[in-house]
Chain A
């Protein structure tokens, strides 16, 4: 079970995933509580033009960073009011930014392979330099999260109460959107958009079924990512070495995370039957963005 990770590139891939586990566990708790799934999905798509322009200019990292920050600001402003509802605004910003990226790459010859590497990342070719960049961003994200956590919990639980207590809700929303954007930038090159979306959404949703505490959710989320990361890398290694099946490591990690989520659904049901009183449902199945 350890043997694949004695190979240097596998060890680097595992290191990268473990770094991401440390930041994505806590961040996903806020994504879950603030119902930012769609925003996260949008951010992973909207960094694409930044990546493309950055790649052309030889400054891939800077390009992604600029695009992420621009989108975070735009999403905050769009959802802060106006007649276009926030989910429609998010959808349009997502498709528009992604289309700009596609227009830019469609003029290049290696069009489809560029797009593929953006979707899946290059987890198995992560360089020590990339790991260092991820580590720096991880520290920035954790500090930003630690500073804002209390205020963001208050704002999430009771927006009017937080505003009355003197917090500027728009600034707190921007703060969180920027944190999510930084996670996307840290992760997207190594693991690709598919995995980033999953890392931001699935862990906390799964952890919520095990615990009623925010800190507990963050810890469980981190453990789940670390476990799925290890298992996914191991599975893709074994599949290709022993069975000759091409199993992309990023998608096996996602599939393991989703499997954990589905396995935990019955746990949640059992726990509730024992403990909670029956309260009428809040959610309609069809008001899909909170």
Chain B
């Protein structure tokens, strides 16, 4: 079963499409990278998979169900700058949020939940920061905490919105390593970026978008000068890798 299948999908708000003609298929353990300029619709596409933005046309299947029905089953790592750095919450509490749906409304956290949180923090290399306030960490460390939160929920499909934005080199390396481990364990990954170097290095599949889907395929097929120029318009200056 495909983790994610989009056929001729348009997504957008208020019946106004932001992104059209999306055709994708992602299997367990594959890494899909969404590439496109700012405002291309990458975040909107991710939110449509999460069931937060409606699918206006076409057929979308997420983990075997419609995105709305699958809501809560796919993991999500938001952009760090959308969060309030001043919020009085510890790193451990943030990662525990990934377990909240399992814990439910009434029950206190169980040892299994605490173990999952500790393991997720260990995986992203921040076990020693568990007691710190979230806002005192650097941008890259915060991004890794959010990744740990998503891992603690043990999703089969994980979506990351610009995980490398404003992230230092050490954290970027740590995130890339964790993502490789996750897909080796069978998690399907979708992440957006406008960093073509990371895309080439990490992707099994690349989806090139800007208002519509321009190309989909392996990095070698899609990240060509011609296809990038058509997706980005005339403004793109390509630097040879």
| Distance from B157 Cβ to chain A, minimum over Cβ atoms (Å) | 11
What is the chain A residue whose CB lies nearest that of B88?
A: A212
Residues of chain B contacted by A154 (CB below 8 angstroms)? 97, 100
Tell me whether B153 and A165 are in contact (CB under 8 A).
Answer: yes
CA gap between A277 and B93 in the complex, in Å: 21
Interface magnitude class on chain A: 20 to 34
Q: List 10 A-B contacts (CB under 8 A).
A: A154-B100, A157-B89, A160-B47, A164-B52, A164-B71, A165-B100, A166-B71, A166-B73, A167-B72, A282-B85
A interface, CB within 8 angstroms of B = 33, 147-148, 150-151, 153-154, 156-158, 160-167, 208, 211-214, 217, 275-277, 279, 282
CA gap between A148 and B105 in the complex, in Å: 7
CA gap between A147 and B73 in the complex, in Å: 22
Chain B residues 40-91 with CB under 8 Å of chain A are 47, 50-52, 71-76, 78, 82-90
Which among A150, A165, A208 is the interface contact of B72 at CB below 8 angstroms? A165
The answer to whether B101 has its CB under 8 Å from any CB of chain A is: yes
What is the chain B residue whose CB lies nearest that of A159?
A: B82
Total A-B residue contacts, Cβ distance less than 8 Å: 78
Tell me whether A160 and B135 are in contact (CB under 8 A).
Answer: no
Tell me whether B76 and A161 are in contact (CB under 8 A).
Answer: yes
The answer to whether B94 has its CB under 8 Å from any CB of chain A is: yes
Tell me whether A160 and B78 are in contact (CB under 8 A).
Answer: yes
Tell me whether B87 and A164 are in contact (CB under 8 A).
Answer: no
B interface, CB within 8 angstroms of A = 47, 50-52, 71-76, 78, 82-90, 93-94, 97-98, 100-101, 103, 105-106, 133, 135-136, 146, 149, 153
Residues of chain A contacted by B84 (CB below 8 angstroms)? 157, 282
Tell me whether A161 and B97 are in contact (CB under 8 A).
Answer: yes
Tell me whether A157 and B87 are in contact (CB under 8 A).
Answer: yes
| Distance from B236 Cβ to chain A, minimum over Cβ atoms (Å) | 29
CA gap between A213 and B135 in the complex, in Å: 12
Tell me whether B88 and A164 are in contact (CB under 8 A).
Answer: no
Tell me whether B136 and A277 are in contact (CB under 8 A).
Answer: yes
Known contacts A151-B100, A276-B136, A282 near B72 by CB under 8 Å? no
Residues of chain A contacted by B146 (CB below 8 angstroms)? 161
What is the chain A residue whose CB lies nearest that of B85?
A: A279
Closest 9 CB pairs of A and B: A166-B72, A164-B76, A164-B50, A212-B88, A154-B97, A212-B133, A160-B78, A157-B87, A147-B105
What is the chain A residue whose CB lies nearest that of B149?
A: A161
CA gap between A166 and B74 in the complex, in Å: 9
CA gap between A212 and B85 in the complex, in Å: 12
CA gap between A255 and B98 in the complex, in Å: 42
CA gap between A234 and B118 in the complex, in Å: 50
CA gap between A164 and B153 in the complex, in Å: 12
| Distance from B48 Cβ to chain A, minimum over Cβ atoms (Å) | 11
Residues of chain A contacted by B50 (CB below 8 angstroms)? 163-164
What is the chain A residue whose CB lies nearest that of B77?
A: A161
Which among B78, B86, B105 is the interface contact of A161 at CB below 8 angstroms? B78
What is the chain B residue whose CB lies nearest that of A147?
A: B105
Residues of chain A contacted by B97 (CB below 8 angstroms)? 153-154, 157-158, 161-162, 165
Residues of chain A contacted by B94 (CB below 8 angstroms)? 157
Instruction: Choose among A147, A151, A160 the residue with the greatest number of B CB atoms under 10 Å from its CB.
Output: A160
Residues of chain A contacted by B73 (CB below 8 angstroms)? 166
| Distance from B94 Cβ to chain A, minimum over Cβ atoms (Å) | 7
CA gap between A279 and B136 in the complex, in Å: 9
Tell me whether A157 and B83 are in contact (CB under 8 A).
Answer: yes
Residues of chain B contacted by A217 (CB below 8 angstroms)? 88
| Distance from A179 Cβ to chain B, minimum over Cβ atoms (Å) | 15
Tell me whether A156 and B87 are in contact (CB under 8 A).
Answer: yes
Tell me whether A164 and B86 are in contact (CB under 8 A).
Answer: no
Tell me whether A151 and B76 are in contact (CB under 8 A).
Answer: no
Tell me whether B76 and A160 are in contact (CB under 8 A).
Answer: yes
CA gap between A213 and B88 in the complex, in Å: 5
Residues of chain A contacted by B71 (CB below 8 angstroms)? 164, 166
CA gap between A212 and B146 in the complex, in Å: 19
| Distance from A164 Cβ to chain B, minimum over Cβ atoms (Å) | 4
Known pairs A154-B100, A160-B47, A165-B76 / 6 extra A-B pairs, C-beta < 8 Å: A150-B105, A156-B87, A166-B72, A208-B88, A212-B88, A217-B88
What is the chain A residue whose CB lies nearest that of B72?
A: A166
